[in-house]
Structure 1
Amino acid sequence: MSDRHVAVSGLGLVTPAGDSPRTVWETLCAGRSLAARDPALAGLPVDFSCQVSGFDATAELGVRMSRRLDRFAHLGLAAARRAVSDAGLTPGGWSAERVGVVLGVSSNSLQTYEQEFSRLGEGRPAAVSPLALPRSIPSLLAGEVAIDLGARGPNFVTTSACASSMTAIGVARDLIRAGTCDIVITGGSESPRAPMNAACFTQMKALSREHSCPESASRPFDVDRDGLVLGEGAAVLVLEATEHARARGARVRALVRGYGASADAYHPIAPHPGGRGAEQALRGALVDAGCTPADVDHVSAHGTGTQLGDAVEADVLHRVFGTPPVVTAAKSIVGHAMGAAGAIATALTVLAMEHQAVFPTANLTRQEAGRELDIPTGRPRDAALTTAVVNAFGFGGQNAVVVLTTP
């Protein structure tokens, strides 16, 4: 590995908070949850989510492509196009074999499988769509982005549960540092708003059941938190060797300086109660970045709103930092986009560093004694941000952390 820096030269967003950096930032700064009743989940015990509204896949991608791809691919492909445009790159005008695609997706598209399994269960195998498999498997997201943009470098999807897209960013960074690629299109996409997903998470008692007021359901780090809120969305970053970006006059939005990953090796669902793996990944990312805990100005927490997960993360932050820097929890506003959550949080942290401000966390009224964190509420807080940490933790005890710095 070389020690050359890796730049974020482009951002593409399709989220419940909007689909442009400006709109997303303004929505975040309002500090209100975007959870609402979800027609796709009508009749279920938990019938709300954070949804991407106003997105027209046909207008974005054309009739044929919108019909043959599932929603997670619609969102991811649109975000990839936005990121490449934001980076000032033109597909076809680059060395295609030096451009990779590494994206994170945590699961298959259950929307399609629900439909196709029902046909099979009705004894109608001939009615099963021949497109069911290629439109649904996670790896096709990376393949479709490469086809659309003409990127012929390494191409694959990482899947590490809710850490999937953070894993993708770390691997993409390493491909550039290793000299394999000059540019990697990375991030993730997910649309878990399927009845089967919601039913499974409900049975696991992982979802908030704040039925009377969905907007107050996602409450990371609040003493009365009772579970996560499903979200959807995509965030794609263009990572580029810094010297490559500057040689073509590109804007460098941030630097990816450190990456750490680990396994709890403890339980398929619950985090290690002592935060062993999360702490290992966080400390590893800081070492990789050449930073000390005192260098960090901001933490974008995993912060799902589950009782155990938030408690463990707060304990880890106190152990690593002593007095933790200012913290935010994006899932309080945009929900939990599962495999895409890490990339969304990373993109939002880049925006925070550009604006030199931390957006507020929604629905936080009272924190647990002994686990208090410095979390802005109600309005954004101006802050001098030069170094930030972004956490992502997933089922299976899979942990990934990225350290970002200003250019």
Structure 2
Amino acid sequence: MGVIKSLEKFDIEFFTSNPKQADVWDPKLRKLVEVSYEAVFDAGIPIEKLRGTNTGVFVGVSDVDTGAIAFRSGKLNNLYGLARHAFAMMANRKSFIFGLHGPSYVSDAACAASAVAIQEATNAIRMGLCDSAIVAGACIRHDPLTSKIFFPSDMLSVDGKCKVFDNSADTSEQKPW
């Protein structure tokens, strides 16, 4: 498992976001906005050049668990907290912040969500729905309940390394539980 420190930090002023909204965004959305900006910057494209263009935003996401945590804790800070449950926000907020006018949506295909987002972006460009695209995938587990459910279901590896479809993948016989 990887650990990302300071998930609660986000430069609201830099990304010209409403503080009441940004305060309750799923941390995946904050990271998606930051990393997307960095990727465009690293590609040598000033984000201002994309503003107003027919650029699509395609995001692969398979769950938003911070809403469940907020609900259980009773901390639904403000009414914008309802938006934390909406997958569409992962793409639509990015489109809004960067001023992009192409298609903007999320694909949920579990572990294949990012691959589907790439396929959808490629198809949209080929069909002329957009001229370019920002494609991203996000999976950050916040809720320990998810892992608690995965563990007895033989969905986690003993050594913490992903070996999907690999001959070296853990089998039930190898697991001590």
Q: Normalising by the residue count of structure 2, what TM-score does the alignment of the two structures yield?
A: 0.79
Aligned to 1:204: 153
The alpha carbon displacement at 1:94 in A equals 3.6
What is the alpha-carbon distance in structure 1 between the residues aligned to residue 63 and residue 54 of structure 2?
Answer: 28
The letter of the residue matching 2:66 is Q
Distance 1:199 1:55, change over 3 A: closer
Query: Is the Cα–Cα contact under 8 Å of residues 98 and 152 in structure 1 kept in the other structure?
Result: yes
The alpha carbon displacement at 1:117 in A equals 3.5
Query: Is the Cα–Cα contact under 8 Å of residues 50 and 99 in structure 2 kept in the other structure?
Result: no
The alpha carbon displacement at 1:152 in A equals 1.1
Q: Normalising by the residue count of structure 1, what TM-score does the alignment of the two structures yield?
A: 0.37
What are the ranges of 5 or more consecutive residues in structure 1 without an aligned counterpart?
Answer: 1-48, 121-126, 210-216, 220-303, 312-366, 369-407
Query: Is the Cα–Cα contact under 8 Å of residues 61 and 78 in structure 1 kept in the other structure?
Result: no
Query: Is the Cα–Cα contact under 8 Å of residues 8 and 27 in structure 2 kept in the other structure?
Result: no
Aligned to 1:15: none
The alpha carbon displacement at 1:189 in A equals 1.4
Specify the SS of the correspondent of 1:57. coil
Aligned to 2:38: 82
The alpha carbon displacement at 1:168 in A equals 0.3
Aligned to 1:354: none
Q: C-alpha root-mean-square deviation of aligned residues, in Å? A: 2.7
What is the alpha-carbon distance in structure 1 between the residues aligned to residue 153 and residue 77 of structure 2?
Answer: 30
More helix by share: 2
CA deviations over 1:149-195 (Å, ceiling 9, x no partner):
00011110011001001110111112112222111011211211311
Aligned to 1:115: 70
Tell me, yes or no, if structure 1 residue 218 matches structure 2 residue 160: yes
Matches within 5 A, 1:40-79: 49-53=1-5, 57-58=9-10, 60-62=11-13, 64=19, 66-79=22-35
Query: Is the Cα–Cα contact under 8 Å of residues 41 and 47 in structure 2 kept in the other structure?
Result: no
Aligned to 1:305: 163
Query: Is the Cα–Cα contact under 8 Å of residues 113 and 137 in structure 2 kept in the other structure?
Result: yes
Tell me, yes or no, if structure 1 residue 93 matches structure 2 residue 18: no
The letter of the residue matching 1:71 is P
The alpha carbon displacement at 1:203 in A equals 3.1
Q: How many residues align?
A: 164
Specify the SS of the correspondent of 2:110. coil
Aligned to 2:175: none
The alpha carbon displacement at 1:142 in A equals 0.3
The letter of the residue matching 1:52 is I
What is the alpha-carbon distance in structure 1 between the residues aligned to residue 145 and residue 86 of structure 2?
Answer: 16
More strand by share: 1
The alpha carbon displacement at 1:204 in A equals 1.6
Specify the SS of the correspondent of 2:111. coil
What is the alpha-carbon distance in structure 2 between the residues aligned to residue 115 and residue 56 of structure 1?
Answer: 14
The alpha carbon displacement at 1:97 in A equals 4.4
What is the alpha-carbon distance in structure 1 between the residues aligned to residue 45 and residue 120 of structure 2?
Answer: 21
Among the aligned pairs, what percent are the same residue?
23
What is the alpha-carbon distance in structure 2 between the residues aligned to residue 115 and residue 203 of structure 1?
Answer: 25
> Larger C-alpha radius of gyration, 1 or 2?
1
What is the alpha-carbon distance in structure 2 between the residues aligned to residue 53 and residue 119 of structure 1?
Answer: 24
What is the alpha-carbon distance in structure 2 between the residues aligned to residue 167 and residue 98 of structure 1?
Answer: 20
What is the alpha-carbon distance in structure 2 between the residues aligned to residue 117 and residue 128 of structure 1?
Answer: 13
What are the ranges of 5 or more consecutive residues in structure 2 without an aligned counterpart?
Answer: 170-177
